[in-house]
Structures are given as C-alpha cells and as structure tokens.
Amino acid sequence: MHRYKRRILLCVSLAITFGFLLVILRRKDLITPSVEERSEYSCCDANRSTDTITALEGNRTFIISPYYDNRDSKNPSMVRILSIIHHQEVKELYCYFCCSSDNRVKVSRALIDMHSDRFGFPYVTTDLLCEEPPGCHAQYLSVHTSPSEEMTQLPLLQNREVEPFSANFKVYISTMFGNYGNVLQFIQTIEMYQILGAQRVMIYLNHFSPQIEKALLYYIARGIVEVVDWPIERYLKPGNAWHYSLDPKDIGYYGQLATLNDCIYRNMYRTKFVLLNDIDEIILPFSHTSWDTMMKSLQQQKPNVSIFLFENHIFPQTALINVSFSNTLSWKDVPGYNILQYVQREPDRPNYFNARKMIVDPRKVIQTSVHSILKGYGGHVEVSLETALVYHCRGPIQRDLPKTSLIEDKTIWKHNASLIRNVNKVLGEIY
C-alpha cells in the first residue's frame, strides 16, 4: 500500500514539475520571439511597398517599417517592425522573411511588444520583434496574421548597414496636420535650428495650408527639410488631443508616438543626435552659442548619459512687446508670429508636471514617448535651466496670469542679427 502511495506521489510530483517547465517555456516565449515555427514558401514575388503605412487585412494592424536591430547581444539577428495595432484585437502575427540567398520565404512568429504610453486610445504604437532565420539575410519582409498565407506587401528592411553620419544634429518635427499656416514663425524656427547647428529637419507631413507651401518647398529643394508622407487619416480616425478622454478617436495627435519612434530608427546610423520637438519649440542654450558646444559640455559632465531632457517654457503669444529691429519691415506682410517679439515667459506652476523635450543619441533608444524615453540603453539627465530651455512660443497655458507675473527672457535676441539676415534671404527668394 505504501509503495502505491509513493508511486502516486512520484507521479504527481513529476506532473507538477512538468507543468512548471511548460509555464517557464511559455514565459520564455513571451520574452524571446519564436524561432521554432519556421517553414519555407514560394519565391519572393510579392509587390514592393513604398508607402509609409501599410495596412494588413482587417485594418487592425498597420505596418510602418521594419528595422534590423542587432544591439541586443542576446538577440543579434533581431528585426524590429514598427507598427500601430489595436491593443485588444491583435493577438498573433508572423514575419515572412524574403531571403536574398535563395529567394525563398521563411516564417517566424512575432513577439508583440506594445509601447507603455497609449493614453487611453484603442490603437497603440507597437514593436513586432522577429528573429531573422539563420542564413537568410533578408532584404524585404512582410507581416501576416497566420503562418500559412501568401506574401503580399514587402517593405524594405532598413538599418542593415551602419552608415557614416550625414549630420550631427537632426530635428524631428511632430506630425504637421490641420491648416497650419504660421509662415513667419515656421521660417524663423527653421533658420534658428540651422543657426544652432541642425543640418537637417525631418517633418512627418499630414497636411499644410497653401500659405506654408512656398516655404516648405524652398527648404525641401535645398535639402534642409526632409518630408515623410504621413496619411494616417486614410486608415484611422486620428484625434487632436493627447488623451482619449479629450478626443475619443482611434489614435492621439495624428499618430505622433509612431512617428517619433520611426524617426529614431530612420536616423539611428545617419545622425549623431536627434532633437524631438514641435515646430513652435526651440531648444535654446543660455551659456553656449550652439548645440554642438552645449552637447560637448554636457557629455563631458555626464559621459554615460545619452538622453538629455530640457525644461519646456511657454512664451505666450498674447504677451507681444512692441520692439522694432532694422531690416524687418517686410515681415509685416508675412502671415504668422514674429518670435523676436515674444520674450516673456510664464513662470512654472507649482506642483504641476513640466513637460520636457529631448536631445537623444538614437543608437541608445529602444522606445520613446513624447517627453521621456520608455526603453533605452543609456542613462538620462534633466538639464538645468541655467544651461538651456525649450523656447515654446504658442498660446498661453496660464490664461488668467497677469502680465506682471511674466518673466522677461531675451535669450533669443543673442541671435537676432543672424536670424534677421537669414530670414530676409529666404523671404527674398520665395516672395
């Protein structure tokens, strides 16, 4: 009798142990993309996709672009596919690799890694993580909802080769949408970026007004502005607010979070630093004349830091000062705000979150949000107000604040001679 009991207990113990092993294996599958489910299909004869956004059947998953990401030593053949998915309705996706070695397709299951910042919207920026099959060396891949479909669209797999830097500083501009027509401030801001050290400005363009078209085309023709087409409303109902409760649509701010992350990966091996901000914002140094000297100083102080966060300060457009600079008479005929007339900023609000904008080393970023890095390899630092601030010229946040409470800050006037000269040159060529 005791022998039977011992056998029963042994069987139960083995069953429990086996169950734990299954749980552990399943947990491991949540951490590492599945590379076991591989099979081969016909040759890579699907269409090549050149669109910024590619919709999968059912319109619950939207592929932006796949990027080769070998920064993790544990997964050196990782492919990270930036996408937008419905946070509840998408459970299973597969990567179809078009192998250049034999022109055949191999399939692996994707790990679905949703970004933590969703702000209540049903659609969320997501990384689909797939391990490239050994010996495949894919140039193109596509994504499907099952491992046994025909290949359709094939986006180019980027970041395969490490490129020499084409710029030290590139500015990302959040999705430009609506009837944006603030021409004068747009030109002044692009010129300030160049004065401070930017070689390129990347804009995700959804829509713009006829007034801004001449200025935009001027900068595109000169290679200063790089435009990425962003037709998000073709696929989803985008909102104008940061949180679902303020504008209950499919996705917030015209998919801003997706474009932020795409900009990071597009420029990972092209640019030393990427600045993440809006067109009405300028990271303005106090004690340095350029971003280059400022960043060299900051890196000397913090050699292990790769994410630099700068305080955002509102220079309200309701607080205009009457000041005249020579050679600016023609600016009166240009629609928009003259930033040289806005040199008073709102004080910080006590016990209130002061949003920051960032200068980042893109090679150290895994996932980013608007005001912080969600996942990364390097440390971060909040840069002091004595070093720099984000000059944010827009409508007031503290609408009931008396003008006597505003803080005079004429830092931007340090650059007025160069700014006026450069703006006049642009206006002379486009008008």
Residue 74 is assigned to a structural domain of this protein: yes
CATH number of 214's domain: 3.90.550
- Tell me, yes or no, whether 373 and 407 share the same domain: yes
In the chain, the number of structural domains is 2
Answer for the pair 407, 345: CB distance below 8 angstroms, yes or no: yes
Supply the pTM of this predicted model.
Answer: 0.89
- Tell me, yes or no, whether 222 and 97 share the same domain: no
Answer for the pair 258, 125: CB distance below 8 angstroms, yes or no: yes
Phi/psi at 228 (5° precision) = -115, 120
Residue 152 is assigned to a structural domain of this protein: no
Amino acid, res. 154? L
- Give Cβ neighbours of residue 324 (< 8 Å, ≥ 6 apart): none
- Tell me, yes or no, whether 137 and 172 share the same domain: no
Residue with token string 């050149």: 50
Phi/psi at 83 (5° precision) = -155, 170
Distances (CA, A) of 265 to 16, 169, 212, 258, 269: 44, 15, 28, 11, 8
- Tell me, yes or no, whether 95 and 244 share the same domain: no
pLDDT tens, the chain, 431 aa long: 434 334 433 343 434 333 433 333 333 334 455 544 445 556 677 888 889 999 998 889 999 999 999 999 888 899 999 999 999 999 999 999 999 878 889 999 999 999 999 999 999 999 999 999 998 999 999 999 999 888 888 889 999 888 889 899 999 998 776 678 899 999 999 999 999 999 999 999 888 888 899 999 999 999 999 999 999 999 999 999 999 999 999 999 999 999 999 999 999 999 999 999 999 999 999 989 999 999 999 999 999 999 999 999 999 999 999 988 999 999 999 999 999 999 999 999 888 888 899 999 999 999 999 999 999 998 999 999 999 999 999 999 999 999 999 999 999 999 999 999 999 999 999 98
Residue 30 is assigned to a structural domain of this protein: no
Residue 410 is assigned to a structural domain of this protein: yes
- Tell me, yes or no, whether 178 and 140 share the same domain: no
Residue 211 is assigned to a structural domain of this protein: yes
- Tell me, yes or no, whether 95 and 237 share the same domain: no
Q: Where are the beta strands (DSSP E) in 301-343?
A: 305-316
- Tell me, yes or no, whether 94 and 240 share the same domain: no
Residue 120 is assigned to a structural domain of this protein: yes
Residue 284 is assigned to a structural domain of this protein: yes
- Tell me, yes or no, whether 134 and 232 share the same domain: no
Phi/psi at 338 (5° precision) = -95, 110
129 class by beta-carbon count within 10 Å (0-12 exposed, 13-18 middle, 19+ buried): buried
Length of the chain: 431
Residue 239 is assigned to a structural domain of this protein: yes
CATH number of 49's domain: 2.60.40
- Tell me, yes or no, whether 308 and 420 share the same domain: yes
- Tell me, yes or no, whether 338 and 392 share the same domain: yes
Structural domain boundaries, residue 97:
40-144
pLDDT value of position 152:
81
Angle, nearest 10°, between helix axes 210-221 and 416-430? Answer: 100
> 271 has which bridge partners?
167
The last residue of one of the domains, among 111, 144, 177, is: 144
- Tell me, yes or no, whether 125 and 261 share the same domain: no
- Tell me, yes or no, whether 175 and 81 share the same domain: no
Alpha-carbon distance 166 to 105, whole Å? 34
